[in-house]
Amino acid sequence: MESPQQSTTPMPSTAQPRELSRLAALLRYEILDTPEDSAFDDFTALAAQMCDTPIALISLVDDRRQWFKSRVGLDVSETSREISFCTYTIAGDEIFEVPDTLQDPRFCNNPLVLGEPHIRFYAGTPLTSPDGYNLGTLCVIDRQPRRLSPEQRETLERLGRQVIRLFEQHLLAHRHAEQAALQQAILDSASSAVLVTRPDGVVTSVNPTAERLLGYSEQALVGHPLTAALFRPEALQRRALLLSSELQVPVEADFSVLSAPLHRGRRDMSEWRLRHQNGNEVPVLLGVSAIHDEQEHLRGYLVNAYDLAYQEQLQLRLQQIAAQVPGMLFQFHWRADGPACFPYVSEGVEQIYGLSPGQLAGSFAPIVGRVHGPDRSALLISIRKAASELTPWHSEHRVEHPHKGLIWVEARATPLQQADGSVLWHGFVTDITARKAEQLELDKQQEMNRRLLEALSEAVIACDAEGNLTLFNEKAKQWHGADVAPLSPSEWAHHYRLYRADGVTPLEPEEIPLRRALNGEHVIDHEMVLLSNGAPRHVLSNADPLYTSDGQRMGAVVVLHDITERKRIERLQREFISTVSHELRTPLTSITGALALICSNVMGEVPESMHELLEIAQQNSQRLSALIDDLLDMDKLHAGKMRFDMLEQPLQPQLELALRSNGSYAERHGVQLHLGACPPVNVTVDAMRLQQVLSNLLSNAAKFSPAGERVELSAQVSDGRVRVSVRDQGPGISDEFRARVFQKFAQADSSDSRQQGGTGLGLAISKELIEHMGGQIGFESEPSQGACFWFELPIQGQAKESP
Amino acid sequence: MKQLKRILHVEDVPSIQVVTRIALEKLGGFEVLSCQSGQAALDQVQAFAPDLILLDVMLPQMDGIELVRQLADLVDLQQTPVVFLTGHLQPERLQELRQLGVRQVLGKPFDPLQLATQLRQIWEAEHG
């Protein structure tokens, strides 16, 4: 051992790597700034006593100070490292002794030497950890110079080693406490109930989950045999018997039923029903494992109880739900390279596949066996595809059900990729045979409808509620020379070349029948022209809005009926009538002329006997002439060739003229024509046509009036119009005839027509004429109270009320 | 005052020609020359020297208006009124006819019992 005087080493450095490791070692003991501890104080007291010094310290040196874990004869708990003696001690491996500080140049100016505690003597032994770090010192201090005896030095070193051992113990105890706290925390937070027993099965510890699950407090269980407290004896006996035969050794009906199986392996799982404190039974899955110490001695058992009640409840709920589902619920495990299986299927598997869950036993093959042969490969392909893409699986396939025969089922499932690459599906299968049948029926119906539409000689076009065209049947395509196009209704007329009946004016969008129907209108027999495909095609459109069964507007449909041919025939008919009429007119003129001459006796007195026949011939030729005239007028009106020489003129002279012109005709019927009130108004008319209308109305009135009655012609002003009325005392207009009065060839009673004469065109022509002159025609009649035919014309110039 | 006596009548339809001629002769007491075509009328008009000419406008080969034009070259239409018998005539044509000296257009079909009276009225309107 060297003398301290020889040591002239400077203050040891604190920044070397070795010093950092030393500090880490010191911190590991977690002893700095801990409370006083009598175990350490014993050593300082012993050191002071043995070395006969007033001061002894256990000093720990960290990066900036020395801290005293234990001290004798000193009040301060720490001093700065720069002035510390111990820094020198820990730099070496042996006792560091300073016999007289005032003689030592390193310490003669040290404040601890010059001031309190006036150190003159110092001796310290390093406290060296098992891994070789000097953590601090055990040191003794005196206020006078001196030296330690060899015995004292040895004692100080021994004591220093004991202090280190105490550090080690301290550290170990700390570690144990931590471990225990961790174990307790794990136990307490375990979601399963945990009970710890001694090797003989007596409970030593219980976690809160176990208290909750079983209803006993920890105190109520600890110290009691586990099986006696929680297990029913019958159950233990049953299990004991079972195990005895299984293990070929006798097993007692006590804790052995739990521990005995462990001899076969490390852990045993079994289901039990434990007794709850309230007398109920708690279904659990028990896991028992043995606890061994390092020497492999059995220290007890760890008993884990997993609550099955919740799971049982879940299972029950699943079963109940599954039972309500019309079909089968399943969980399906699919591997690309191994056998697929059903971890779960509901009872519905019977209903769908005619298999009981027992028959199925989780395997896939029986199900595939039930799938209708032709559908099998597509089914497997679809599963594989959905599994590889992890997309929801949907399949409709047929099943050969042992009782129901061939049924249609629909299956859906969602894939869940498993860690091992397999796929777990959750899904359901339902019987859709009925729906499928309906679907097939519907398809058939639709096919039928489609064929009907195609077979129609009408064009059918439909659109949805938004006005998107959805249907053109074959005829519609043909007539339009086009198919459904994505157009807005405002573009239809232009795109499909729709024209008014005249064939030259394009339809305005709001005139298009389909569009009108889309707005809720019922369009009946609207005539229009399609120009899309060659020659103009005249069609009648009938359009209707379409509604769903609950009254929602779902679109509109229009049916186009081709009347081009009818129009052509009508034109031919008109031309024919026109030609024939013209041809007939000339000979008729000769006949009527000749007859008129004969009857007027110009050619000499006609014998009495001929009068009657001549009369018949003359009347009928006149009637024929009138008919021809009417036909030609009608033709002209239709063809738009009737000329109207409109001239503003007073009304009254026209009425007077009509009265004069028809007077003789009325007289022949024994009827008197009478002119009633007539306001002094002007009308703009073609006088000849007005006369034609008046003649028609007056002659009709005369014709239908009983002899001796009178027919009154009159006019009244109202609302800027003048109404001219012809009132008779005839039989009136019957209800059946009312609607047809102004139709062509309408006569009240065809059996009557020969007697009454007339062409049946008069009123139809009158209506056309009045309307052409801006007026309206109509009638009022009560059966058997006469009839009043009237027409109204706009008044020109000043209008005065009739006097 | 000169009496209406001689009437040149042009009508292509024989039956109407007959009826018209009889009506005029019997009821009017006129001397009537009936021609079946415009050409025949032109051939005979000077020889016959009618007081009045009665025409059907719709004649084959030559229509009534053309006939009037050609007649105007042969006779003084101011002195010899021309009356048309027609079913349909447009007003502007009527205007044209008036300029040529046509006095009156009577509608067709005509009433044979009234025709003689109508012609006499037209005549008297000029010469009365």
Reported as a pLDDT band with limits 50, 70 and 90, residue A732 is confident
pLDDT tens-place string over residues B31-90:
999 998 889 999 999 999 999 999 876 666 777 788 888 998 998 888 888 888 876 666
Q: Rounded to whole angstroms, how far apart are CA atoms A195 and A206? A: 5
Residue A132 belongs to a domain? yes
Residue A447 belongs to a domain? no
Ranges A154-163, A337-346, A522-531, A559-568: which has the least confidence: A337-346
Residue-range definition of the domain harbouring residue A608: 568-637
Last-in-domain residue among A437, A471, A492: A437
Q: A144 and A81, same structural domain?
A: yes
Q: Which chain B residues have a beta carbon less than 8 Å from that of A600?
A: 27, 113
Reported as a pLDDT band with limits 50, 70 and 90, residue A759 is low
Q: A655 and A752, same structural domain?
A: yes
Reported as a pLDDT band with limits 50, 70 and 90, residue A748 is low
Q: Which chain A residues have a beta carbon less than 8 Å from that of B13?
A: 586, 590
Q: What's the number of CA atoms in the CB half-sphere (13 Å) around residue A470?
A: 13
Confidence (pLDDT) at A411: 92
With contact defined as beta carbons under 8 Å apart, do A57 and A89 qualify?
no
Map residue A477 onto helix, strand or coil. helix
* Residues B15, A587: C-beta atoms closer than 8 Å: yes
Average confidence (pLDDT) over A242-269: 79
Say whether pLDDT at A124 is over 90.
yes
CA–CA min distance B85, chain A (Å): 12
* Residues A600, B113: C-beta atoms closer than 8 Å: yes
Residue A800 belongs to a domain? no
Last-in-domain residue among A637, A669, A688: A637
Rg (CA), chain A: 63
Which of A598, A602, A631 to mutate against chain B (most B CBs within 10 Å)? A602
Reported as a pLDDT band with limits 50, 70 and 90, residue A5 is very low
User: Shortest CB distance from A593 goes to which of B16, B90, B91?
Assistant: B16
Residue A611 belongs to a domain? yes
CATH number at residue A420: 3.30.450.20
Average confidence (pLDDT) over A555-560: 92
How many domains, in total, are found in chain A?
6
Q: Rounded to whole angstroms, how far apart are CA atoms A276 and A476? A: 82
Q: A556 and A572, same structural domain?
A: no
User: Shortest CB distance from A596 goes to which of B16, B90, B111?
Assistant: B111
User: Shortest CB distance from B19 goes to which of A594, A600, A643?
Assistant: A594
CA–CA min distance B69, chain A (Å): 26
With contact defined as beta carbons under 8 Å apart, do A357 and A344 qualify?
no
Report if pTM > 0.80. no
Residue A184 belongs to a domain? no
Q: A9 and A153, same structural domain?
A: yes
Q: A210 and A110, same structural domain?
A: no
Residue A692 tokens read as 């034609």
Judge whether B22 is closer than 8 Å to chain A, CB to CB. yes
Say whether pLDDT at A725 is over 90.
yes
Residue that is written with structure tokens 């186009």 in the block: A560
Confidence (pLDDT) at A800: 45
Residue A690 belongs to a domain? yes
* Residues A596, B112: C-beta atoms closer than 8 Å: yes
CA distances A771 to A218, A383, A735, A778, A794, Å, are 111, 78, 24, 11, 11
Q: ipTM exceeding 0.95?
A: no
Average confidence (pLDDT) over A162-186: 86
Q: A595 and A494, same structural domain?
A: no
Burial of A366 (C-beta count, 10 Å sphere; 0-12/13-18/19+): middle
Q: A524 and A426, same structural domain?
A: no
Residues of A with CB under 8 A from a CB of B: 585-594, 596-597, 600, 602-603, 625, 643, 645
Residue that is written with structure tokens 């495990």 in the block: A333
CA dihedral A257, A262, A267, A268 (to 10 degrees): -30
Say whether pLDDT at A215 is over 70.
yes
CATH number at residue A717: 3.30.565.10
Residue A445 belongs to a domain? no
Confidence (pLDDT) at A264: 63
CA–CA min distance A599, chain B (Å): 10
Q: Rounded to whole angstroms, how far apart are CA atoms A352 and A433? A: 11
Reported as a pLDDT band with limits 50, 70 and 90, residue A753 is very low
Q: A92 and A124, same structural domain?
A: yes
Average confidence (pLDDT) over A699-724: 90
Residue A738 tokens read as 């009312």
Average confidence (pLDDT) over A516-531: 90
With contact defined as beta carbons under 8 Å apart, do A458 and A561 qualify?
yes
Q: A620 and A593, same structural domain?
A: yes
Q: Which chain B residues have a beta carbon less than 8 Å from that of A603?
A: 22, 26
Say whether pLDDT at A15 is over 70.
no
With contact defined as beta carbons under 8 Å apart, do A47 and A140 qualify?
yes
Q: Which chain B residues have a beta carbon less than 8 Å from that of A591?
A: 15
CATH number at residue A574: 1.10.287.130
User: Shortest CB distance from A589 goes to which of B16, B91, B113?
Assistant: B16
Say whether pLDDT at A754 is over 50.
no
Say whether pLDDT at A2 is over 50.
no
Confidence (pLDDT) at A45: 92
Closest to A625 measured CA to CA, from B50, B107, B38: B107
Confidence (pLDDT) at A10: 55
* Residues A597, B18: C-beta atoms closer than 8 Å: no
CATH of B6-122, one of 3.40.50.2300, 1.10.1040.20, 3.50.30.30, 3.40.50.1820: 3.40.50.2300
Which residue stretches of A468-607 are H helix? 474-480, 489-495, 513-518, 564-599
* Residues B112, A603: C-beta atoms closer than 8 Å: no
Residue A449 belongs to a domain? no
Residue B109, preceding peptide bond in cis (omega within 30° of 0): yes
DSSP assignment string, A145-188: -----HHHHHHHHHHHHHHHHHHHHHHHHHHHHHHHHHHHHHHH
Confidence (pLDDT) at A717: 92
- The partner residues of B62 in beta bridges, in order of sequence, read none
CA distances A461 to A29, A449, A452, A483, Å, are 95, 14, 14, 10
Percent of chain A with pLDDT over 90: 23
Average confidence (pLDDT) over A686-711: 90
Q: A298 and A320, same structural domain?
A: no
